[in-house]
Amino acid sequence: MPRYALRIEYDGQPFAGWQRQADHPSVQGAIEKALSRLEDGVPSIAAAGRTDAGVHALGQVAHCDMQQDWDPFRLSEALNYHLKPDPVAVTGCVRVGDDWHARFSAIERRYLYRIVLRRAPLVHDRGQAWRVQRALDVEAMREGAAHLIGLHDFTTFRSTMCQAKSPVKTMDEIILDASNYSSGTEIRVSLRARSFLHNQVRSIVGTLERVGSGAWEPLDVKKALEARDRAACGPVAPPDGLYLTGVSYDPQVF
């Protein structure tokens, strides 16, 4: 069966997450429904990562096995036709080897978290960013984030429901940028690692917000990390501002 890699973009607001669920809409379910319109008996698709309810993607990657030998462009066009009106789009499609796997072949994942600082409710960015109603000290947040770079036990920053075998992960990069717009100041937190734990990004961002607000000192992030205790984590940031922006492979697929 020919295997295809799909690069996928979606708005997570209407979905209960990536993973297919019996009683709730999911991104995986929407794509598999579209695939079923093209062929009968298409196997379940696999993704590079399972995003939670309300989390978005600009560069999610999944693979599917088809019976027919589809031209990749025709397959992506057909999927996008049948995905309407769901806020999901296939932005790339490539034929890959039978042993290639969207999850297990990945060597890096990248996430972005958007924070908008303003008193007024969000209108155009509602559900697309976390609105924080006070100023944040970005430099202090950068100082706190520096303690998380490298190989660490991230027990403090993972969900109690996380199914990963080990809490030990390597955080390669955390970059914080701030820009002023007419709609408010936006802080963008970009994170890069081979893999992430369940709720790790949102836990980190929520903790850094505490540093930015002055409730925590930057060194408190290091203390929380070393505690290896979920109770030591700051509040978990909402899903609204989180985006899976890309997945890397060797050799690169897209």
Torsion over CA: 81, 244, 69, 35 (sign): negative
Of the residues 104, 129, 147, the one at which a domain ends:
104
Whether residues 118 and 48 fall in one domain? no
On the question of pLDDT at 85 being above 90, the answer is yes
Residues 66 and 145 reside in one and the same domain? no
Domain boundary among 81, 104, 127: 104
The CATH code of the domain that includes 144 is 3.30.70.660
Q: Taking residues 75-96, what's their average pLDDT?
A: 98
Catalytic residue among 11, 23, 40, 52, which?
52
Percent with pLDDT over 70 in the chain: 100
The CA distance from 248 to 37, in Å, is 29
56 and 140 inside one domain: no
Mean pLDDT of all residues in 10-15: 98
147 vs 143: CA distance, rounded Å: 7
For residues 153 and 43, membership in a common domain is answered with no
Residue 182 has pLDDT above 80, yes or no: no
pLDDT, tens digit (0-9, with 9 covering 90-100), for 93-141: 999 999 999 999 999 999 999 999 999 999 999 999 999 999 999 999 9
pLDDT digits (tens, 9 = 90+) for 24-36: 999 999 999 999 9
Whether residues 139 and 88 share a domain: the answer is no
Q: How confident is the model at residue 157 (pLDDT cuts 50, 70, 90)?
A: very high
Query: Structural domain tally of the chain?
Result: 2
Whether 52 sits among the annotated catalytic residues: the reply is yes
Name the residue range of residue 214's domain.
107-247
User: For residue range 196-242, what is the model confidence (pLDDT) as tens digits?
Assistant: 999 999 999 999 999 999 999 999 999 999 999 999 999 999 999 99
| 253 in any annotated domain | no
Are 23 and 120 found together in one domain?
Answer: no
Examine the domain organization and report whether 122 and 63 are in the same domain. Answer: no
Q: Is the pLDDT of residue 22 over 90?
A: no
Least Cα distance to 89 among 60, 128, 55, 123 occurs for: 60
Q: Given 74, 104, 134, which residue is the final one in a domain? A: 104
| Tokens standing for residue 87 | 């806020």
- Give the Å distances, CA to CA, from 145 to 68, 83, 175, 212: 48, 39, 8, 11
